[in-house]
Amino acid sequence: MFAGDLQDKHPYLYDQGIWIFGDWDKALRAAGFDPERMRLRSFWNGEKVVLGIRALRKQNLPLYAKYVMKNHQNLFSEALRQYGSWNKALMAAGNAVIPRKTRLDLLRELREAVESRRDISQTLRSEIAYYFGSLRNAKIALKTDAKLLSGWSKVKSSLSLPRCTVQKRN
């Protein structure tokens, strides 16, 4: 069903599809096919990249470069081609906050906010969404991250044993 193959091997079929439906994409849709899926290469523009990033956001998937590069190679490479960098593509899609903190730092901040029962700031929520996809995913990571579970928090350190004092002997 590739247009090039039909033009070479069955030009009458291709010509009929164009004549009846106006263009080859419309002919494919009328036959029940998705033109984008039928092509070996799909066409990406800035709008399609932005829609792809927003689709990841709606699915609560992480938006950091390493995750997208590994799991959505086409989107990532086209974002680089269209915008020059992943961060510029994110900003074009409306993701204004791109954290400068590490994943572990964000988990620590979240843990401290949860343990002290204070509200989680909108900035922290945005940074968490960038790395984890959603606050829910971050809370799951908070409960399962081995490095974080073995570490100390401000709340834990305030609950530690009282200090021992050494008395001088004469």
- CA pair distance 132, 87, nearest whole angstrom: 16
Mean pLDDT of the chain: 80
CA torsion through residues 120, 121, 127, 129, sign = positive
In the chain, the amino acid numbered 49 is: V
Helices (H), the chain: 3-9, 11-21, 24-30, 35-38, 46-58, 65-71, 73-83, 86-92, 103-115, 122-132, 135-144, 146-150, 154-158
| Per-residue pLDDT tens over the stretch 24-41 | 889 888 988 887 777 766
- Looking up tokens 């029940």 gives 32
- CA pair distance 83, 154, nearest whole angstrom: 41
pLDDT at 100: 72
Residue 114 tokens, joined: 């949860």
Q: Please report how many Cα atoms fall inside a 13 Å half-sphere around the Cα of residue 156, on the Cβ side.
A: 9
Rg of the Cα trace of the chain? 26
Q: Report residue 99: phi and psi, to 5°.
A: -65, 150
pLDDT at 159: 47
pLDDT at 133: 83
| pTM for the full predicted model | 0.54
- CA pair distance 20, 31, nearest whole angstrom: 12
| Per-residue pLDDT tens over the stretch 67-124 | 899 999 889 998 998 899 888 898 888 876 566 778 788 888 888 888 888 888 878 8
